[in-house]
Structure formats: structure tokens, C-alpha cells
Chain A
Amino acid sequence: MHIVVCIKQVPDTSDVKINPETNTLIREGVVSIINPFDENAVEAALVLKEKLGAKVTVMTMGPPQAESALRETIALGVDDVVLLSDRAFAGSDTWATSYALGKGIAHLEERPDLILFGKQAIDGDTAQVGPGVAEFLNLPIITYVRKVEVEGQLAKVERVFEDGYERMEAELPLVLTVLKEMNVPRMASLRGRMKAKKAEIKKWTAAEIGADPENTGLAGSPTKVVKIFSPPKKVGGIKIEGTAALDAARTVVGKLKEQKVI
């Protein structure tokens, strides 16, 4: 069994500060991390590997520094990593990214039985790349998965909705996007960390995976960002001051009734 996990390196948003004057992110000194949902996907793959003896390959598309994210996954125990890195990929939107990852996966020597993604990336929040890759590879996909078991060629999956979940079965090969509640990612092992430092990272260019230049990078991206702006600041409610407690409480109740809250 071969499991491929696609990950993305993102800025650690728990660490991001906004410049109050320009309303833009202060990127200086912000560390890069593996997208947290992707960590759950890697963990899911490793758990299946322990149970079923699978091979796990992690793939990412990104600039050369994305290599550090791949090394982190080696320390966790994955078998192989691939970095899709090429100037031609720069400026890709979710469509072009999905196309490139699809090409990359198709270029792997061993066909994957299962392809895992985090449900979305914490920087873009689109949740489109997993389904996009499934489409390019012409594979079935189940999104928002919190549980997966594999028996032979059959995957048994729990897919979460706002008000419940559904149990589904699907035949491999299959694409899944996973939720945080799926598992708790393990910590890197000491020996894994040492191995990771010395590991050779496979780097593939657009040409190597046979990606059509028309479909990659900015040129291949149908999405055009027209404008980026911060949402307007919330106006801070009403202050009821200078009255006795009982009167103040009455005013609050009145306002709540006005708004049809109560």
C-alpha cells in the first residue's frame, strides 16, 4: 500500500501581528510551520502505516525553503518526500497548484492507493486543492474526514457535517481531506530527527513532471486577485452608563427585545 500526503508550508498565524497603520501582515520574524491540518493527514498516514505496513510519501509544492517542512515529516517517520520546486510554479492559485500536485503524484514510480490532505490551509482557507487534485487524477474524494479504516481495497470513512456525520465506504484509490479531530499528531522521534537532517530531498521541476507551462504558475492561474483588504473593524456595541443597576438592566432587556434576541 502506498499513501501520499500533500502538505503546505504556511506562516504560523498564531504568531502573526498586523501593522496597525498599513493593515498588512508583519511577515518579519514569523516562522513557517507545516499547515496544522496537514499534520493530522501525516499522522493518519503514519497510523495506517503502522497497522498495515504501508509506504508513506509526502509531497509539497513550494519555494526551496519548503524543504524544511519535508524534513520535519521525515523526523515523524515518513518514508519518502518530494519537493515540487520551480520558478514556473510561482504565483499558482488553487487550480494551478492542484494541477502541479496532480502531475507530481502521477510522476511517482508507485501509484498511490490513498492520497491525504488537511481539510484546508490556515493561510488561504480555500479547501480547494484536495478536491482539485482528485479531479485532475480522476479519483473519488471524501472531504472533512474524522476517521478512516482500510480493509483490503475498501476504505471505511466517517465524514463530518455541522450536525452529525455519515459513514461511507469507498474503494481505493481514493482522496481524503482530514479534520483536526482525526488524531493528535505525534512528536518527532529523536532518531527520526537525526535521519531527517541527513536525508536527501527529491526535487522535481515542472519539466520533470511533464507540467504544461500554460497550466502552471501565474500564467496557469484563472483566479485573479483584484484587491486584498482587511475586513472593517467591528464597531464596539453600546455602553449604558450613569444609571442605577435596575434601570440599566431594563434598558438592556429593552434593546434585546428590539433586536428580537429575546
Chain B
Amino acid sequence: MFIQGLTDEYVDYLKDESRLIGYAEGICFPESEAQVQEVVRGAWQKDMPLTFQGARTGITAGAVPKGGWILNLSRMNRIRALRLDEAVGAFRLTVEPGILLCDLQRRLEETAFDTADWDEESLKALARFRESGPHFFSPDPTETTASLGGMAACNASGARSFRYQSMRAHVRGLRVVTQRGEVLSMRRGELVADHGEFSMHSEQGTVFTGRLPGGVPPKVSKCAAGYFLDPSMDLTDLFIGAEGTLGVITEITVGLLPLPKTIWGVMIFLPEESAAWRFIQEVRALQGKGGADLLAAVEYFDGSALNLLRGIHGGGMDDLPVLKERWNSAVYVEYHGEEEPLEQALEELCGCMERYGLQDEDAWIADHPRERERMRLFRHAVPETVNGLIAERKKMHPGLTKLGTDMAVPDERLEEMMRMYREDLNRSGLESVIFGHIGNNHVHVNIIPRDPGEYEAGKRLYLNWAARVVDWGGTVSAEHGIGKLKAPFLKLMVGESELREWMALKRVFDPKELFNPGNLFGV
């Protein structure tokens, strides 16, 4: 057995980016699926809870243990195979769950893989891959040191998910180790639920059957709030976004996309937030006109976010151009495609700007890599600065953390949601910034409390907002997942009786409730 006691050298593994600190009796770092099976079998025999960990970059405490053993997958980080799906002409890459997104991205960029263990078919596919021009893996959470296993477990996404959708859309197959160390192997399209009934065979021959809970899923384009459920769903989807509550992912096959020929980023500054919200909807409506389907990302920064950036000139942000005083919000749009239709899309964008009375200097464009990198730094400076502020305030009040929302609503509720945030925040006097993936009606409100009183006030606001968002048919988590921290919000969204059905579904795979205790269902 590989379990080591949780001595001092492992204390870092008791926490993740949520900063919540858990507890555990032991930890192991399996290097193969067989070793994972052995650990899960051992845990079954000893009734030992298991917490699965990837790179611990999550911010909802999904990887923070609540007793038992930690099963850390960071040493399972190989790229195992490459295939060309001839039918659709797409490349598929099979990876272990511990591989980091940044490592995968670099390998794809350089088309350099460690092929020592690759089979003949993979090597052949690699030769074709190198002739086929650059490819990329589209899910792009800001944190590129995330692991692929973690990204699948919480159905991660990012700015470009506006066009390319979340992780779920790119997972073509999974291997999952579930109760007693049995293995479920799935390939998209091979096994679907039938009128809400499902039946799966493990490689060891056990049959897992059950009925999927009913309920109405949120009407949003992005969701990372627990189980994906649909009466005729592909069963691969059951394990994506399940946050390790049904088993541990040991292998993922993902789809790759050809890199667009041209990528242009445009940052548009507007004098008023409410104008920006309307502007965004117009830009979104341009999508698809004239056969163009080029819009890859639509992001938002409120006036406070711009103020934050105005305040950090010189602090590593020397490359940031001056932000004019009259700008009070910013919208970032990114276009992917061929040069000519892109030019046309930009003409349409210019037309839209004219209708809003914007001037030439109110829109920046980045059309080559150096400029795009400048714009990327600009966008990432906002959350980083917020984290810096919180760290500073934590010195005075150790109990403070950032209160960050991750909710999304249906298209028609966008303005209402933004107005709710703005009015409540103004009334409360709390310091905050709003930014994020507004194209998907999904923004992050970051409340930056100055003291414990404000922290509590912020939490109350958050709970009120969650209730409203649920009323509107939205989701309490669009991309961060539920983990342990947002379990109360999930309960609010799904309802207690349906959550009991979810638990019954979990028990089909995990009858002793050993896998990732606390995730989705709370402690």
C-alpha cells in the first residue's frame, strides 16, 4: 500500500486555492490506474473516506480533505495516446488526470511529446498531426496550472468558452475508478440513458443501474453546479462536473481543435456601465450575421475594476496604457477566424460603437501576439490585484477571504442581474469589482471586505443574490464548481428533496459515501 501518514511535509496538501484547511490521516501519490484501484479497494475495506486531488487550484475547496486519505493524482501526468478520428478529421489526445493545462498547451504548441510508451497508431497519428498545422485545446480557465482531471471533475471553462463551450464539450472519453476499485470505461456516443434509466458495466463485470433524478436544469449556457442530468444523456457526462463524488477519473480523452488563422482581441471602453450592458447584448446579437461565427469571447470589467488598474501603475503593470478618466467600464471581445470575414466583423463592431457615440480611441485592438499578451496581462491584472488586496487585509483580520460569485443567468436576465449587483453594492458601501464572462451572462462579483463586519454583510448579499439568480432560472456556479464552500448554494438551487435523489444516484457508485465527502452535498 502507498499510504503515508500525514506528516508535516504534507500539510500543504490539506488546502487548495480556497485557503480552507482540512484534515486527513494519510496521503498517497499513485502512478498508475492499477495503484489507484488498489487504494480505492483498500479504502473500501477500511471504510476510509477518500479525497481526490489534482493540482489544488480550485477555489471552492473541492480538493480539501475532510478526514480519511488523500489520493493525489499529480504523478499521473503522462500523455498516453494520440488518435486521428478519421470520420470527423479531428485529433484526440488521451491523458492522465494529473497533467497540467500549461504543460498540455506547451506540448501542443511545440508538438513535442514523450512518445516512449506510445503505440504504433499514436505515432502514426503524430506524424499526421505535425503535418496538419497548429492545434489547440480550447478550455482556458485563467489558472493554467490546473490539472486536466480537476478541469473535468468541475467542468471548467474560461473566456473562450463563449464560443467553444466548457470542458464537457471536449471530453471524448473517460476512465473512472469507482467503488471497490472497479473501472468504468466510457467513450462519448457509446452509452446513453434511456428515459432516465441508466445501466453501466464495469470492466470487472459489475452492473451499475439506477434512475436519474428529474428536476429542471438551469437555462444557462454554462453550468458547473453538480450533476449534469438529462433523461437521454450520454453517460460520460454524468462524471464530468461530478467533482469526484462518483469515482476518480484516471484517464481522459480530449478533442483538439485547429488553431484559428487569425485571432484579434478588441477592448472597448464605455463611459457608463448600463450602456456597456446594452452594448454587449448588441455585439452578441451581431454573432452569426452574414454567416460569420467568429466571436470567441465577450468579457466585462466594471468601473471599479478600471479604478483598481489605475491604482497599480508601476507595480509590475508598467506595460498598461493609460486609462482615460471618462472610461467607466470595459468590454473585451475576441474574434477567431479567417482574415476577411474578421474584417467584416470588425466593421460591424465599428458600426455598433458609432451607435453608442464612442470615439476612435475608445477601442484598442491587439492583432499580433505581442499586443495580445499586453491585453492578456491587462485582463489578468484585475483578479490578481484583488487577491493582493485581500492578502493585505488578511494581515489585520485573518478571518477575511475574498467573496467571489460565479453565477450565471439566462440571456434575457442579463441586465436585471447586473442592475441587481450594482444597486446592492452601491447601497451596501462594500468595496467590490465586477468582471468576467459576460457573454455567457456570467460575471464574477468580488467583494473585498475591509473587516469582519463587512465580510458578514457581503455573505448576506451573496446569499440574497443566489436566491434571485435561482428564481430567474440561473445557476449558482457557472465554472468554479460547488466544492464544499458553495454546497449551501447548491441546496438552494436544487432543493432538498432533489438533493436526496442526487445522493441516491451517488450511492449507486459510492454506497458507503467514501468519495470526496463534503463536495456538492456539504459537510
Chain A residues within CB distance 8 Å of chain B:
12, 31, 33, 75, 77, 184-194, 197
Interchain residue pairs with CB less than 8 A apart (27)? A31-B368, A33-B370, A75-B365, A184-B318, A184-B319, A184-B320, A185-B321, A186-B322, A186-B361, A186-B364, A187-B365, A187-B371, A187-B374, A188-B367, A189-B361, A189-B362, A190-B268, A190-B346, A190-B349, A190-B353, A190-B360, A190-B363, A191-B350, A193-B365, A194-B343, A194-B347, A194-B350
Other than A31-B368, A194-B350, give 15 A-B pairs with Cβ distance below 8 A: A184-B322, A185-B321, A186-B321, A186-B364, A187-B366, A188-B366, A189-B362, A189-B363, A189-B365, A190-B266, A190-B268, A190-B346, A190-B360, A194-B347, A197-B343
How far is it, in angstroms, between the C-alpha of A29 and the C-alpha of B207 when the chains are bound? 56
Known: A12-B370, A33-B370, A184-B322. A190 touches B347 (CB 8 A): no
Among A12, A31, A77, A190, residue most surrounded by chain B Cβ atoms (within 10 Å): A190
Interface residues of B in 311-352 (CB under 8 A from A): 318-322, 343, 346-347, 349-350
Closest CB in chain A relative to B340 CB, distance in Å: 12
Decide yes or no whether B478 CB sits under 8 A from chain A. no
How far is it, in angstroms, between the C-alpha of A189 and the C-alpha of B366 when the chains are bound? 9
Residues of B near A77 (CB, < 8 A) are 360-361
Decide yes or no whether B50 CB sits under 8 A from chain A. no
Chain B 354-381 per-residue mask, 1 if CB under 8 angstroms from chain A, else 0? 0000001111111111110011000000
Task: Say whether A184 contacts B321, CB under 8 Å.
Answer: yes
Among B347, B361, B362, B371, residue most surrounded by chain A Cβ atoms (within 10 Å): B361
Task: Say whether A192 contacts B318, CB under 8 Å.
Answer: no
Closest CB in chain A relative to B294 CB, distance in Å: 15
How far is it, in angstroms, between the C-alpha of A186 and the C-alpha of B266 when the chains are bound? 13
Closest CB in chain B relative to A41 CB, distance in Å: 16
Task: Say whether B321 contacts A189, CB under 8 Å.
Answer: no
- Identify A192's interface contact among B360, B366, B370, CB under 8 A: B360
How far is it, in angstroms, between the C-alpha of A185 and the C-alpha of B361 when the chains are bound? 13
How far is it, in angstroms, between the C-alpha of A197 and the C-alpha of B339 when the chains are bound? 12
Task: Say whether B360 contacts A191, CB under 8 Å.
Answer: yes
Task: Say whether A188 contacts B364, CB under 8 Å.
Answer: yes
Name B374's closest neighbour in chain A (CB-CB).
Answer: A187
Closest CB in chain B relative to A74 CB, distance in Å: 12
Task: Say whether B364 contacts A187, CB under 8 Å.
Answer: yes
The count of residues in chain B whose C-beta lies closer than 8 Å to any C-beta of chain A is 28
Closest CB in chain A relative to B261 CB, distance in Å: 16
Residues of A near B368 (CB, < 8 A) are 31
Name A189's closest neighbour in chain B (CB-CB).
Answer: B360
Known: A75-B365, A189-B361. A194 touches B346 (CB 8 A): yes
Closest CB in chain B relative to A82 CB, distance in Å: 22
Name A46's closest neighbour in chain B (CB-CB).
Answer: B361
Residues of B near A189 (CB, < 8 A) are 360-365
Name A181's closest neighbour in chain B (CB-CB).
Answer: B318
Closest CB in chain A relative to B446 CB, distance in Å: 25
Task: Say whether A188 contacts B365, CB under 8 Å.
Answer: yes
Closest CB in chain A relative to B22 CB, distance in Å: 37
Closest CB in chain A relative to B483 CB, distance in Å: 37
How far is it, in angstroms, between the C-alpha of A192 and the C-alpha of B350 when the chains are bound? 11
How far is it, in angstroms, between the C-alpha of A172 and the C-alpha of B319 when the chains are bound? 31
Top 8 A-B pairs ranked by shortest CB distance? Answer: A187-B364, A190-B363, A191-B360, A190-B365, A189-B360, A193-B365, A186-B321, A188-B365
Residues of B near A185 (CB, < 8 A) are 321
How far is it, in angstroms, between the C-alpha of A185 and the C-alpha of B366 when the chains are bound? 13
Task: Say whether A188 contacts B360, CB under 8 Å.
Answer: no
Closest CB in chain B relative to A22 CB, distance in Å: 23
Closest CB in chain A relative to B4 CB, distance in Å: 29
Residues of B near A12 (CB, < 8 A) are 370
Task: Say whether B364 contacts A190, CB under 8 Å.
Answer: yes
Residues of A near B321 (CB, < 8 A) are 184-187
Closest CB in chain B relative to A112 CB, distance in Å: 24
Residues of A near B363 (CB, < 8 A) are 189-191
Residues of A near B318 (CB, < 8 A) are 184
Task: Say whether B320 contacts A190, CB under 8 Å.
Answer: no
Residues of B near A197 (CB, < 8 A) are 343
Name B353's closest neighbour in chain A (CB-CB).
Answer: A190
How far is it, in angstroms, between the C-alpha of A31 and the C-alpha of B353 when the chains are bound? 32
Residues of A near B268 (CB, < 8 A) are 190
Residues of B near A193 (CB, < 8 A) are 346, 365, 367
How far is it, in angstroms, between the C-alpha of A31 and the C-alpha of B370 when the chains are bound? 10
Residues of A near B266 (CB, < 8 A) are 190
Closest CB in chain B relative to A179 CB, distance in Å: 13
Name A75's closest neighbour in chain B (CB-CB).
Answer: B365
Closest CB in chain A relative to B246 CB, distance in Å: 46
How far is it, in angstroms, between the C-alpha of A226 and the C-alpha of B480 when the chains are bound? 62
Among A31, A184, A191, residue most surrounded by chain B Cβ atoms (within 10 Å): A191
Name A184's closest neighbour in chain B (CB-CB).
Answer: B321
Name A183's closest neighbour in chain B (CB-CB).
Answer: B322
How far is it, in angstroms, between the C-alpha of A31 and the C-alpha of B371 when the chains are bound? 13
How far is it, in angstroms, between the C-alpha of A12 and the C-alpha of B371 when the chains are bound? 13
Chain B 448-468 per-residue mask, 1 if CB under 8 angstroms from chain A, else 0? 000000000000000000000
Name A14's closest neighbour in chain B (CB-CB).
Answer: B370
Residues of B near A194 (CB, < 8 A) are 343, 346-347, 350
How far is it, in angstroms, between the C-alpha of A194 and the C-alpha of B346 when the chains are bound? 8
Closest CB in chain B relative to A261 CB, distance in Å: 31
Closest CB in chain A relative to B471 CB, distance in Å: 38
How far is it, in angstroms, between the C-alpha of A187 and the C-alpha of B321 when the chains are bound? 7
Closest CB in chain A relative to B267 CB, distance in Å: 8
Closest CB in chain A relative to B291 CB, distance in Å: 20
Name A50's closest neighbour in chain B (CB-CB).
Answer: B361
Residues of A near B350 (CB, < 8 A) are 190-191, 194
How far is it, in angstroms, between the C-alpha of A187 and the C-alpha of B353 when the chains are bound? 17
Residues of A near B319 (CB, < 8 A) are 184
How far is it, in angstroms, between the C-alpha of A193 and the C-alpha of B361 when the chains are bound? 11
